[in-house]
Chain A
Amino acid sequence: MTDSAVADTRRLNSKPQDLTDAYGPPSNFLEIDVHEPQIVGVGRNRYTTYGVRMRTNLPIFKLKDSCVRRRYSDFEWLKNELERDSKIVVPPLPGKALKRQLPFRGDEGLFDENFIEQRRVGLEQFINRIAGHPLAQNERCLHMFLQDESIDRNYIPGKTIQAAAPEPSTYISTSRH
């Protein structure tokens, strides 16, 4: 091999990109909105539900556009399921706000507008973070949460895809966050 004084730094050859790939919609479209809080029930049995709308083009989700209604305890359920079954580090939920459930407060307690808005933002961040995680996308509980009308708490936990054990040399490892 010739001992060249200056290294060859020319780019390696690559295939030209298909224009439909370059200008078409990206294959990673995933947007979840947590919106439209509604107070359900009467008196002391009231609670707030939020609309969870998902739009996506990821093939792993059956529906490309879905809308369900969920309450805070449903989000808690999802967090617990993922913490138990999946290998991911589940991000935190907005607080439980137990103090707001006590009587004799100056404000509306759990149904205070600002509080509901703060919680809505936190829940939206939470669900978007999880839904984009490749390891969480394989959990049945996530699909049920996002796309089934109601959550069946007696469901059988498990993965959506039964994959063969991956060979370490051919896989990228994700950090657990």
Chain B
Amino acid sequence: MSFFSFGQSAEIDVVLNDAETRKKAEHKTEDGKKDKYFLFYDGETVSGKVNVTLKNPGKRLEHQGIKIEFVGQIELYYDKGNHHEFVSLVKDLARPGEMTQSQTFDFEFTHVEKPYESYTGQNVKLRYFLRATVIRRLNDITKELDIVVHTLSTYPELNSSIKMEVGIEDCLHIEFEYNKSKYHLKDVIVGKIYFLLVRIKIKHMEIDIIKRETTGTGPSVYHENDTIAKYEIMDGAPVRGESIPIRLFLAGYDLTPTMRDINKKFSVRYYLNLVLIDEEERRYFKQQEITLWRKGDVVRKSMSHQAAIASQRFEGSAASESALEKAAKEESG
């Protein structure tokens, strides 16, 4: 990022030690495109090398120090100047001086805390990245490497079904039921709608998944609603006593885990919206919040301990305590 380079200039890049073996995950960029990034979990070590390559070999590169940072930050789009850093680690790679030839520096951030999941939304972005810098008097040379962090949970101990009777007096009474209140991202919503009273002419019924992103605090709270899915579950007019099944596979939709009050800056919550439409296009709806969580893939020995740490942070319950013990036993045993 040097516009006027008088004298020596250099290129800097960051390479992870496990770049060959580490999994990559797809993540949306701010302009909606999907890109692949290295995937990390909470507690994992981030280690690699910083390569500083001199552009004109033979010429010296004067600098005020070389460092690498690991940053986790929240950016609110309406407040782009202010980044809220919740993780900020620095390693100095070289003291101020000069470089006469290209060099490689090793770095390691051991067992880094990554408490939140990476998120790119409509009004807010939470990202983690490595930033290597060659500090110079006029302009620094920097390079950023974005990574993606997923937060994992285990099956919640308590996962009651949602069952409710709702309606409009003397017009429409239904009982809806969803098999769980907490679903993982590849789960299936199994439910049913039971008609107790139908005095209106219903044309069809659908279930929508709504994502609500909330940014800001106090008087300046802003909700951004986005309908992620619309799924028709009934076409035609039901009568009393009819039961309509629901089977909605979540894996097909672009969903994130539920995020509640992340660093007191934003929330991402999900709702099921049951909508009945009558013959005059009038809409009758009932919204119900569900909790989404991310299930770990095949749990390897070294991963289970990390996942157990992550789940403890999420649930803080007896189940995760015993999961932690079990993982510790597996590792040592």
- Does B199 count as interface, using CB distance less than 8 angstroms? yes
* Residue of chain B at shortest CB distance from A135: B168
- Does A10 count as interface, using CB distance less than 8 angstroms? yes
**Whole-angstrom CA separation of A129 from B281 in the bound complex:** 10
**Whole-angstrom CA separation of A65 from B165 in the bound complex:** 32
Most central of A11, A12, A173, A177 by chain B CB within 10 Å: A12
**Whole-angstrom CA separation of A103 from B143 in the bound complex:** 84
How many inter-chain contacts with C-beta < 8 Å in the A-B complex?
104
- Does B278 count as interface, using CB distance less than 8 angstroms? yes
Contacts of B247 in A (CB 8 A): 9, 11
Contacts of A60 in B (CB 8 A): 170
Contacts of A7 in B (CB 8 A): 186-188
B192 touches A12 (CB 8 A): yes
Contacts of B187 in A (CB 8 A): 7
B282 touches A175 (CB 8 A): yes
- Does B155 count as interface, using CB distance less than 8 angstroms? yes
CB distance from A152 to the nearest CB of B (A): 26
* Residue of chain B at shortest CB distance from A133: B282
B169 touches A14 (CB 8 A): no
Given contacts A28-B201, A132-B279, A172-B284, A12 and B245 within 8 Å (CB-CB): yes
CB distance from A80 to the nearest CB of B (A): 20
Interface positions of A from 1 to 15, Cβ below 8 Å from B:
1, 3, 7-12, 14-15
CB distance from B147 to the nearest CB of A (A): 27
Number of interface residues, chain B, beta carbon within 8 A:
45
Contacts of A26 in B (CB 8 A): 198, 237, 239
- Does A22 count as interface, using CB distance less than 8 angstroms? yes
**Whole-angstrom CA separation of A161 from B169 in the bound complex:** 10
- Does B231 count as interface, using CB distance less than 8 angstroms? no
CB distance from A124 to the nearest CB of B (A): 13
- Does B92 count as interface, using CB distance less than 8 angstroms? no
Contacts of B280 in A (CB 8 A): 128-129, 132-133, 177
- From B157, B179, B197, B276, contact of A27 by CB (8 A): B197
Interface residues of B (CB under 8 A from A): 155, 157, 159, 164-172, 174, 177, 179, 186-188, 190-192, 194, 197-201, 237, 239-243, 245, 247, 276, 278-286
3 closest residue pairs by CB, A with B: A14-B243, A17-B241, A21-B241
